Amino acid sequence: MEKFNFLDDYSEGCHPAILEALAKTNMSQQTAYGEDEYSSKARSLIRAHLGGATSDIFFVSGGTLANLTIIASLLRSHEAVISAETGHIVSRETGAIESVGHKILTVEKPSGKLDPEDIITVLAQNAQAPHMVKPRLVYISNATETGRIYTKAELTALSAVCRENDLLFMLDGARLGAALMSHDNDVTLADLAALTDVFWIGGTKAGALIGEAIVINRAALAIDFAFHIKQRGALLAKGRLLGLQFQTLFQTDLFFASGRYANDLANNLSKAIISAGHDLASETQTNQIFPILPNALVAKLKADFRFYVWGPHDKDHSVLRLVTSWATPEAQVDRFISTL
Amino acid sequence: MEKFNFLDDYSEGCHPAILEALAKTNMSQQTAYGEDEYSSKARSLIRAHLGGATSDIFFVSGGTLANLTIIASLLRSHEAVISAETGHIVSRETGAIESVGHKILTVEKPSGKLDPEDIITVLAQNAQAPHMVKPRLVYISNATETGRIYTKAELTALSAVCRENDLLFMLDGARLGAALMSHDNDVTLADLAALTDVFWIGGTKAGALIGEAIVINRAALAIDFAFHIKQRGALLAKGRLLGLQFQTLFQTDLFFASGRYANDLANNLSKAIISAGHDLASETQTNQIFPILPNALVAKLKADFRFYVWGPHDKDHSVLRLVTSWATPEAQVDRFISTL
Amino acid sequence: MEKFNFLDDYSEGCHPAILEALAKTNMSQQTAYGEDEYSSKARSLIRAHLGGATSDIFFVSGGTLANLTIIASLLRSHEAVISAETGHIVSRETGAIESVGHKILTVEKPSGKLDPEDIITVLAQNAQAPHMVKPRLVYISNATETGRIYTKAELTALSAVCRENDLLFMLDGARLGAALMSHDNDVTLADLAALTDVFWIGGTKAGALIGEAIVINRAALAIDFAFHIKQRGALLAKGRLLGLQFQTLFQTDLFFASGRYANDLANNLSKAIISAGHDLASETQTNQIFPILPNALVAKLKADFRFYVWGPHDKDHSVLRLVTSWATPEAQVDRFISTL
Amino acid sequence: MEKFNFLDDYSEGCHPAILEALAKTNMSQQTAYGEDEYSSKARSLIRAHLGGATSDIFFVSGGTLANLTIIASLLRSHEAVISAETGHIVSRETGAIESVGHKILTVEKPSGKLDPEDIITVLAQNAQAPHMVKPRLVYISNATETGRIYTKAELTALSAVCRENDLLFMLDGARLGAALMSHDNDVTLADLAALTDVFWIGGTKAGALIGEAIVINRAALAIDFAFHIKQRGALLAKGRLLGLQFQTLFQTDLFFASGRYANDLANNLSKAIISAGHDLASETQTNQIFPILPNALVAKLKADFRFYVWGPHDKDHSVLRLVTSWATPEAQVDRFISTL
């Protein structure tokens, strides 16, 4: 039997509902470059979640493209990004942000979560104009790279500090579905539209083949954004592919259901690990679990499963990363638990 | 009845064989970021066409990404590209090449085809080092933006002038399938592997949902290319989507058959237009037809069809662009001809 | 005797008045990075010529730095520059503008002078958003690279077309002193402050060792410009060097006198060439002369003088470029004329 | 009486010998763009110190231009720089390195000095190709931003770790004169030619008006470097200004004497401060002194002198930065000491 992998939330294809939608619409002729009717419908469906905000919505094929296109479009070359050291743009995107000309000012945060004091500190440390870059955009991920989420109070406080200091506030939502469906979550898409300047909704990790939806909440920031999408290579000729997937995710509860399902399995796994007497390196709030396990057990698990060994914990223990998704069979989670 | 559109070769979804492959493999767990088994198989299948060349093959999601990633990876910042004025990178990619730092030196060519004398002239005009950029890469499209193709003799001559002048030779193959299946064609993928430094095979216009295959024919030029793909946002988490499509296109004759079919319909259209007494603005060699039609006839055709009016020819005539593809029903071509 | 060179207007050091000012102020301690009292005084002296405009003024060490810093600061990455094909930024600055990410859309103009119709044409040719770059800034040189100047009426018309089309209007004044002192000139610095968004005053070719003064005529465009000067390496630690030179050029008539003197000598040379029966490839309006001379005469002149052979005219004649400056002795002009 | 300033080593003009050389050569006609005879002579004079190395030497007008031009020329876009957190390129050049596309990977080091273990650690932390940037160049400053120097053994060890790991080794010598003349120094220019791939010799802080000399020690790395100097705006029309100053600094002992003189005064200041019972925040090895003084004393000193208060030490003490130079009168140092 093949080893089941808990490596990530993008090891399978797409949710069957998307496959079905692709088949059903395949031969319909559609205007290219995102002017198709599916993209238009998908924009309306997403906008309906935004609490009345008239945000502009754009679809791109991946997260790095979303991040670099947004930042390159919004900032002038002397302006910098503030991010937690763990931010995806810092060390998992091959310097994409610097390749488009911007420094990232980082803050060390084990949780991956920035707070207002972090922002104030970075501003104070970079005040020597014009010898230093000018901090201009705060980048956060929700869920963070360690599976943690922001509360509405936390986002409200960050938003306030940004507005007081003329900083743009951007949220990377590669795992936004999981974040919004966390048991601990009190944030809605409408809150994000009100609190951030721009955020993006990850499709790839929520059951799409590819695709992220960029939501720009201030009209002035969306001016000419389409040029940037094209210039960076993020505009698909067959934009229908992105539109149709987001239409499918949002015309029913599918986007949210995917996150809920993945979180529930992660929660089961997490509880079983704790029950078995093991600790976690990071609290489980979404679909990533970071157990600290004895190396002997890790070796045993490896016989049946694939997962990342995130790093050593001490000489006898390692930190693992396990990820669940819409595609994870409950039976595999049960099998993993029983192997524990 | 809805108007049939001859606007382009990317108005439909994908070839049914690709849809079927997607459905069949959907729940298989695959390693992410292009390390999946479909991508691996697709690389082998393409390589089998290269006449023994051991080229490196990479998949990206679109043509602008292919062009900018290749050029940004290969050139130093003082090095420039030579292209025909009609080149896609010149005026249809929102300055993507300049956005990664490189000047394009253009040559006016109605056919869109460069010849060795063009290269020599550009070199002579840009010889004042270090005040001028250094021409370093010759970019051609095959088929060109006006539907024309290069012969093997022409490519051989261009390749020779490049090698004599230490220039890299790159071929944009967005419509390579149509080019290779032209009645006038005598070029093979193996020839391209031998004559160019890098070329790419367009999947999007040959029946894929998205995807282009970059073929790098000199090992030294492929060093660290994967970093560039990631940095520019061209590396899909679910790289399987690209691999599977190219596997499907190349494990049978599908890639070539798509081009052949599109060309055959274009040929029929083109002949009918000439038989009806009209001229063409550019010879029909592939799947693009550029008829010069009286404006009254254009108005009549518009009632039943959608197409681009490429521009005015004289006060009574316009140049149209009609494009056929793997997805164009013969019946629609017949209907268009009968409307003529 | 050493050959006298008419190669350019930067073969000597600086005007003796500048040398004297350097010596007199050398040991005075001044605040670094352009916050010195000479820079401050120079800004006031230049501003006094601007007809009441409250322009922001910055000093940088050279023309390429002026051009790339201005353009990189003012444009977003999808925005492009419109320039005559002869523009210095097009082919004499090693792709500096492209290296900071911007395409230059060029217009073929033998005089090097753009007119409103050129702008309208470029706008029309680049209207296919978002596939094409967005023209955003018009770049002109005064005097042009072929020694020609703009009249006030011409600048007014260009300024109007720019404002009507939301285009920024920039003037490269590497040889502005010569332009403003041309017999044909009716333009003042105050006119430039009113008609352009930004222009720069060339010091290097007007008697300074180095240095150009950037004048930004709209406060909104000057916001954070100092960051860009620093980021591009254009901010001198000893900014006093730039300030002192411009103070010296503008606290007397020196800047204008330098241009007038150079033009007068060029005028003498030009008239003598015409009297001797030769033609000019470009009308002499400033300090550059482009005579068309028989090759035998060119050879004879080469025995005593150095100059650029700009190119062949026909098989028996060449076009030369001769340049005069504040430093050219009248005796050398007389000697050249007598050799004719 | 005006307050004397110990703010930096660039508050005055230039060494009188340079002023004299400028006056003497002013009207000599010289070829532009660094092809003048002074630049040529200066290159020879510097090369004579390099222990037989045939390094290529280029002059640019400032330190930020030196750093960004070197790094942009040497690295591909996915390649990154390793630097101490205190490195000038990290936080004192407005993101110049990121603006040309490169991430800087930083190491926290109070001394500002990197050691081989730092390099190994950064390599290990950035090994996840192609998701992370590829470390490719190690940047150090000598003297560091806190006035410390590297020993020959330390440089040898860094050089070895760079070569073993295919890393380029670059030294920023903005204050190299002071470093080489430190009492603790055992390094020569010949050592730097042997141990680094590229270093630069600061002229601005050693008595020049402007100017730094870039020394490239491997011929392959100097290929086409002149294009980059021009493209970045670092090529002066009157390159003679740079050449003449370096000729003057190196045709006698002047470059070294300037450093020695500045260090001697700094040493006197430093000893007097210690004798007076105060501590230093960083050991005095060159011309920067970082005393920790009671705030009351700081206030008193401010009545007669200007200097940077580098930051608070504790609630009653501040860290100051005092800088001496070739231009500092001994009498001012004595006056400062007596005020202590």
Per-residue model confidence as pLDDT tens digits over D58-76: 999 999 999 999 999 999 9
CA-wise closest residue to A242 among B209, B22, B8, B24: B209
Q: Where in chain C is the domain with CATH 3.90.1150.10?
A: 4-10+255-339
B128 touches chain D (CB under 8 A): no
- Every domain of chain B with CATH number 3.90.1150.10 lies at 255-339
pLDDT at A253: 97
* A229 touches C at CB < 8 Å: yes
Estimate to the nearest angstrom the gap between the alpha carbon of A169 and the chain centroid: 15
Q: How far apart are CA D141 and CA D114, in angstroms?
A: 9
| Rounded CA separation A73/C45 (Å) | 38
- Check CB contact under 8 Å for B236 and A8: no
pLDDT in tens, A209-260: 999 999 999 999 999 999 999 999 999 999 999 999 999 999 999 999 999 9
Q: What is the pLDDT of residue C52?
A: 96
Say if A230 is an interface residue toward chain B (CB within 8 Å). yes
Per the CB < 8 Å rule, is D130 touching B76? Answer: no
Chain A touched by D131 (CB under 8 Å)? yes
Return the CATH superfamily for domain D4-10+255-339: Aspartate Aminotransferase, domain 1 (3.90.1150.10)
pLDDT tier at B340, thresholds 50, 70, 90: confident
Pick among C232, C241, C248, C307 to test the D interface (most D CBs inside 10 A):
C232
Sheet of strand C134-141: strand arrangement:
C56-60, C212-216, C198-202, C168-173, C134-141, C79-84, C104-107
C235 CB-near residues (< 8 Å, 6+ apart) = A130, C33, C34, C60, C226, C229, D62, D64
Instruction: Indicate the average pLDDT of chain B.
Output: 97
- A134-141 β-sheet, strand order: A56-60, A212-216, A198-202, A168-173, A134-141, A79-84, A104-107
Size of interface B-D (CB pairs under 8 A): 51
The pair of structure tokens assigned to D269 is 């200041």
Considering CB atoms only, which of B10, B94, B237 is closest to A237? B10
∠ CA B196-B103-D64, rounded to 5°: 120
Confidence of residue A1 (pLDDT cuts 50, 70, 90): low
D-contacting residues of B 38-67, CB under 8 Å? none
Q: Tell me the ipTM for this assembly.
A: 0.96
Quick check: D333 and D3 in contact, CB under 8 A? no
- On whether any CB of chain C is under 8 Å from the CB of A269, the answer is no
Q: Which of C137, C221, C229, C149 is nearest to C191 (CA)?
A: C149
- Interchain contact, B224 vs D133, CB within 8 Å: no
Q: Do the Cβ atoms of A76 and C224 come within 8 Å?
A: yes
Q: Do B130 and D76 touch (CB under 8 A)?
A: no
Overall average pLDDT of the A87-111 stretch: 97
Chains A and C form CB pairs within 8 A to the count of 53
The residues, any chain, with a CB within 8 Å of residue C51's CB and separated by 6 or more, are: C188, C189, C190, C191, C193, C194
Segment C2-25 mean pLDDT: 97
> What mean pLDDT do residues B83-101 have?
97
Q: Are B92 and C132 in contact (CB under 8 A)?
A: yes
Specify the CATH class of C16-251 in words.
alpha beta
C56-60 vs C104-107, strand pairing mode: unpaired
Contact D28 C12 (CB under 8 A): yes
B4: β partners: B305
Q: Is C248 exposed, middle or buried (0-12, 13-18, 19+ CB in 10 A)?
A: buried
Q: CB–CB of D235 and C23 under 8 A?
A: no
pLDDT at D1: 60
The reply to whether residue A23 touches residue B27, judged by beta carbons under 8 angstroms, is no
pLDDT in tens, C243-274: 999 999 999 999 999 999 999 999 999 999 99
> pLDDT tens digit string along C90-110?
999 999 999 999 999 999 998
Question: Which are the contacts of D148, defined by CB distance < 8 A and separation ≥ 6?
Answer: D111, D112, D113, D282, D283, D285, D286
Q: What is the CA radius of gyration of chain B?
A: 20
- Give the type of residue at C197: D
Q: In this complex, which of C72, C130, C134 lies closest to A77 when CB atoms are compared? A: C72
CA–chain centroid gap for C141, Å, is: 6
We find that the CATH architecture of domain B255-339 is Alpha-Beta Complex (3.90)
Q: How many contacts (CB atoms, under 8 Å) link A and D?
A: 55
CATH 3.40.640.10 location in chain C: 16-251
The Cα–Cα gap between B229 and B211 comes to: 13
Name the residue among A91, A98, A100 with its Cβ closest to that of D132. A91
Does the CB of A102 have a partner CB in chain D at under 8 Å? yes
- Say whether residue D230 is in contact with chain B using an 8 A CB cutoff: yes
Q: How far is CA B288 from the centre of its chain?
A: 12
Q: What dihedral angle (degrees, nearest 10) is formed by the CA atoms of D6, D11, D16, D21?
A: 150
Look at C236 and D210 and tell me if their CB atoms are within 8 Å.
Answer: yes
Whether residues C235 and A130 touch (CB distance < 8 A) is answered with: yes
Which among B14, D227, D258 is positioned nearest to A244, based on CA atoms?
B14
Residues in chain B closer than 8 A to A209 (CB atoms): 22, 238, 241
- pLDDT per residue as tens digits for the range A264-319: 999 999 999 999 999 999 999 999 999 999 999 999 999 999 999 999 999 999 99
Of D11, D22, D235, the CB nearest to C13: D22
Q: Is the CB of residue A8 less than 8 Å away from at least one CB of chain B?
A: yes
Mean pLDDT calculated for residue range C333-339: 96
- The backbone region for B190, taken as left when phi is positive above 0, alpha when psi lies in -120 to 50, beta otherwise, is alpha
Percentage of chain B modeled with pLDDT above 90: 99
**CA-based torsion, C72, C78, C82, C87: positive or negative:** positive
Q: In which residue ranges of chain D is pLDDT below 50?
A: none
- Cβ distance B232 to A232 less than 8 Å, yes or no, reads yes
- Helix/strand/coil for C19: helix
Question: CATH 3.40.640.10 in chain D, residues?
Answer: 16-252
Interface test with A, best of D83, D99, D123 (most A CBs within 10 A): D99
Cβ burial, residue C162 (10 Å; 0-12/13-18/19+): buried
B1 pLDDT above the threshold of 80: no
Looking at the DSSP bridge assignments, the partners of residue D41 are none
What is the rounded distance in angstroms from the CA atom of residue B170 to the CA atom of residue C159?
41
| Residue A297 in contact with partner chain D when CB distance is under 8 A | no
**Predicted local distance difference test score (pLDDT) of residue A2:** 82
CB contact under 8 A, A241 and B25: no
- Closest residue of chain D to C73, computed from CA coordinates: D99
Q: How confident is the model at residue C86 (pLDDT cuts 50, 70, 90)?
A: very high
Q: What is the pLDDT of residues D98-147, one digit of tens each?
A: 999 999 999 999 889 999 999 999 999 999 999 999 999 999 999 999 99
What is the nearest CA distance from A103 to chain C, expressed in angstroms?
12
Q: Which of D176, D218, D214 is nearest to D197 (CA)?
A: D218
Contact C77 A76 (CB under 8 A): no
- Spatial CA neighbour of A156 closest among A194, A125, A123: A194
Q: Do B228 and D73 touch (CB under 8 A)?
A: no
| Residue from the list B100, B129, B226 with its beta carbon closest to the beta carbon of D130 | B226
* Cβ–Cβ under 8 Å, residues B57 and B214: yes
How does the average pLDDT of chain A come out, rounded? 97
pLDDT for B205 equals 97
List, in order, residues 6 or more apart from A45 with CB less than 8 Å away.
Answer: A246, A247, A250, A251
Show the CA angle centred on residue A163, arms to residues A159 and A164, nearest 5°.
115
3-state DSSP call for residue B108? Answer: coil
List of E strands, D262-339:
279-280, 288-289, 291-294, 305-306, 308-312, 317-323
Give the C-alpha distances (Å, rounded to integers) separating C250 from C25, C47, C91, C190, C244: 17, 10, 31, 14, 10
Contact C102 B102 (CB under 8 A): no
Is A130 within 8 Å of C229 when comparing Cβ atoms? yes
Q: Does domain D16-252 have CATH number 3.40.640.10?
A: yes
Q: Residue A138 belongs to what H/E stretch?
A: strand A134-141
Query: CB of B174 within 8 Å of any CB in chain A?
Result: no
CB contact set of A274 (below 8 Å; sequence gap of 6+) = A280
